[in-house]
Structure 1
Amino acid sequence: MKNKILFFMLLGVLTSAQVNRFFYEYKFILDSHNKEDVKKEMMLLDIDKNGSSYYSHDKFVADSIGKAELEKQLKAGGGSISVNRREKPGQVSYKVTKQYPDFKTYLFRNISMDKYKIREDKKPEWKIQPDKQKIGDYNTQKATTSFGGREWTAWFAADIPFQDGPYKFYGLPGLIVKIEDATGSHSMTLIGNKTLKTADSEKDPQLPDNVKLLGLFGKEIEVTKDQFKKAWKIYVNDPTKNMRELMMKNGGDSNTKFAFKVKTSDGKEISDPNQAFREMEKRTKESLQKDNNPIEPDLVN
């Protein structure tokens, strides 16, 4: 009975301005050499009649607080703007959107200061299996696919009339309730849902013409997957290249000022640009060595 009630509620979403928000628990292993360290993140899948958006709950909250603080500073005026790192910025920084009815899919993610909008050129090709399983309150059926450099097993609920799911996955005759890769490194499980009257606003604050915040807000660079892979390789080889080039480019502009500080692991503050860049490069390369098990290996390898 519970599934039938949910079915009729979701049908109503497609003919109204409402948004149905699905909550997924995402478990993932960043370092393939340390499989005991399993991370968790609450992910949101917002669906309305025009499409869907999949993103981190913690990152959304942190970004919302940051935008509110920035707007407050802009209204107050003053000679400087301070943007502080949030205590819980979210472990998953990317976002995926799909546009109905053709499911045009985009991945949004950053490389250093640059924001990219990456067009997906492949759709998941599913093999529906006869196996069935009850996951929570949902009666599901098994399907498998090879996508992004991994083998995936999904369980979808035909009683939930959306051919959508977490990340870039879609195309099954019902919402994907759970999906996991063959290595057990990445797993997304539906744990609940609620209906919203409207989607949360993602409008960015309007900055003055003479104010630029590196890596925050602004327009994304739309690229193909191959173009993104090239940019990623450049970043891995030289993590601070973009920031150095930007400082050199604006070095002769008296109206442009750069001020940033970096703290070492022992809390020592570095303000000298050259030392700061060396520390940033060291820290980034150490982080990349541990973050060696991405959800979509084909995109960065």
Structure 2
Amino acid sequence: MKRISLVLMIILGFFSFAQNRFFYEYKFIPDSTNKADVKKEMMLLDIDKNGSNYYSQDKFIADSTMKADMEKQLKAASGNFTINRTERPGQVGYKITKAYPDFKTFLFLKISTDSYKIEEDQKPEWKILPEKQKVGEYNAQKATTTFGGREWTAWFSTDLPFQDGPYKFYGLPGLIVKIEDRTGSHSMTLVGNKTFHITNNEEPQLPQGIQILGMGGKDIETNKKQFKKVWKAYVNDPAKNMREMMMKNTDTNRVVFKTRSADGREISDPNQVFREMEKRAKEGFKKNNNPIEPDLYN
């Protein structure tokens, strides 16, 4: 992707109520015991006059596909809904929002059927250093901070007039074009950008009493301390919310749960679905022990 011609075009796009989309290559090591297994995900940072959103491109595409499928089922008005439980598309399930001008920051993520909105109570405190280097096409300067249980080194560029960056990072005199933690477990590097007009991305309205994997309900607003309790309960019983959801809809038979086993077999029996979900979740906990923000899960 080419750099937008002249910084003026970016500024004009900003004030014309368009969005500026920045593409970051996110490299991370999910399992601290297997440092050779480096994952990659393309992350998007959308910036407009009101704030920014940071999220996975793959998950965005998958969610859009799921919403389109659900809308078709709603329009069919058959009274029955089929939910196909497959491996989660994309490797990064969270989203970060920042509201300008005070950069009020929230982390959005889902645990089972519940969606959480977690308010950030800290801001990055930066030490700007004189060291400079090129990051891709951009002239960048070094800065460091300690945040979320990790020590970070960032490179920001005043070529891009945004005091923002990937994940929860912001507050430098230019856009953060690269940031990496001291262990090399997590790094985000700007690889491209473009400007586009804002489009509507509302979720389909579900019938009353139906909740599907967090769709159709409000985000549960919480703080970090409360979220840690929720996370601990989920680790102890990963399928609890799905079992409760099934019980609420048993009388109407309006929801059918399906998943696939590791060898590709379709499973539709609810008890087997939940056992498979629990097994898969616990295997995931073991392999994903190196989160970007360790303080949030400890």
Q: By the TM > 0.5 criterion, same fold?
A: yes
Following superposition, the deviation at residue 70 of structure 1 comes to 1.4
**CA deviation map 1:206-244 (0-9, x unaligned):** 222254323334321111011111100110111112223
Instruction: Judge which range, 8-17 or 151-160, deviates more.
Output: 8-17
Following superposition, the deviation at residue 269 of structure 1 comes to 4.1
Give the direction of change, closer, same or farther, for the CA distance of 1:293–1:87 in structure 2 (3 Å limit): closer
What one-letter code is carried by the residue in structure 2 that aligns with 1:222? E
**CA deviation map 1:249-292 (0-9, x unaligned):** x37x7336553234322334444433432332122111110011
User: Contact 1:133–1:140 at 8 Å: present in 2 too?
Assistant: yes
Question: What does residue 71 of structure 2 align with?
Answer: 71
Distance in 1 between residues matched to 2:265 and 2:122, nearest whole Å: 47
Give the direction of change, closer, same or farther, for the CA distance of 1:170–1:60 in structure 2 (3 Å limit): same
**CA deviation map 1:143-191 (0-9, x unaligned):** 0000001000000001211000000000000000000001111110001
Distance in 2 between residues matched to 1:210 and 1:271, nearest whole Å: 22
User: Contact 1:66–1:83 at 8 Å: present in 2 too?
Assistant: no
Q: Which runs of 5+ in 2 are unaligned?
A: none
Question: What does residue 190 of structure 1 align with?
Answer: 190
Match of 1:274 among 271, 276, 289: 271
Following superposition, the deviation at residue 98 of structure 1 comes to 0.3
Q: Which secondary structure state, in structure 2, belongs to the residue aligned with residue 201 of structure 1?
A: coil
Question: What does residue 293 of structure 2 align with?
Answer: 296
Question: What does residue 280 of structure 2 align with?
Answer: 283
Q: Which secondary structure state, in structure 1, belongs to the residue aligned with residue 155 of structure 2?
A: strand
Give the direction of change, closer, same or farther, for the CA distance of 1:241–1:26 in structure 2 (3 Å limit): same
Give the direction of change, closer, same or farther, for the CA distance of 1:175–1:257 in structure 2 (3 Å limit): same
Identity of aligned residues (%): 67
Q: Which secondary structure state, in structure 2, belongs to the residue aligned with residue 45 of structure 1?
A: strand
What one-letter code is carried by the residue in structure 2 that aligns with 1:276? V
Give the direction of change, closer, same or farther, for the CA distance of 1:284–1:88 in structure 2 (3 Å limit): closer
**CA deviation map 1:56-93 (0-9, x unaligned):** 11111111111112112211222422344578821111
Instruction: Judge which range, 264-273 or 203-212, deviates more.
Output: 264-273
Distance in 2 between residues matched to 1:217 and 1:39, nearest whole Å: 31
What one-letter code is carried by the residue in structure 2 that aligns with 1:212? Q
Question: What does residue 177 of structure 2 align with?
Answer: 177
Distance in 1 between residues matched to 2:86 and 2:269, nearest whole Å: 24
Residues 252-263 of structure 1 mapped to structure 2, 5 A cutoff: 254-255=251-252, 257-263=254-260
Question: What does residue 29 of structure 1 align with?
Answer: 29
**CA deviation map 1:8-58 (0-9, x unaligned):** 122223322111110100111111111111111111100011000001111
User: Contact 2:84–2:258 at 8 Å: present in 1 too?
Assistant: no
Residues 21-170 of structure 1 mapped to structure 2, 5 A cutoff: 21-84=21-84, 89-170=89-170
Instruction: Judge which range, 72-81 or 37-46, deviates more.
Output: 72-81
Say what the alpha-carbon RMSD is for the aligned residues. Answer: 2.1
Distance in 1 between residues matched to 2:3 and 2:75, nearest whole Å: 48
Give the direction of change, closer, same or farther, for the CA distance of 1:263–1:61 in structure 2 (3 Å limit): closer
Q: Which secondary structure state, in structure 2, belongs to the residue aligned with residue 261 of structure 1?
A: strand
Distance in 2 between residues matched to 1:137 and 1:27, nearest whole Å: 20
Give the direction of change, closer, same or farther, for the CA distance of 1:88–1:108 in structure 2 (3 Å limit): closer
Following superposition, the deviation at residue 5 of structure 1 comes to 4.8
User: Contact 1:62–1:86 at 8 Å: present in 2 too?
Assistant: no
Distance in 2 between residues matched to 1:214 and 1:152, nearest whole Å: 34
Instruction: Judge which range, 59-68 or 205-214, deviates more.
Output: 205-214
What one-letter code is carried by the residue in structure 1 that aligns with 2:263? D
Q: Which runs of 5+ in 1 are unaligned?
A: none
Q: Which secondary structure state, in structure 1, belongs to the residue aligned with residue 6 of structure 2?
A: helix
Distance in 1 between residues matched to 2:244 and 2:72, nearest whole Å: 31
Distance in 1 between residues matched to 2:160 and 2:27, nearest whole Å: 23
What one-letter code is carried by the residue in structure 1 that aligns with 2:260? K
Instruction: Judge which range, 219-228 or 164-173, deviates more.
Output: 219-228
Distance in 2 between residues matched to 1:44 and 1:291, nearest whole Å: 22
Give the direction of change, closer, same or farther, for the CA distance of 1:6–1:120 in structure 2 (3 Å limit): farther
Give the direction of change, closer, same or farther, for the CA distance of 1:3–1:282 in structure 2 (3 Å limit): closer
User: Contact 1:59–1:92 at 8 Å: present in 2 too?
Assistant: yes
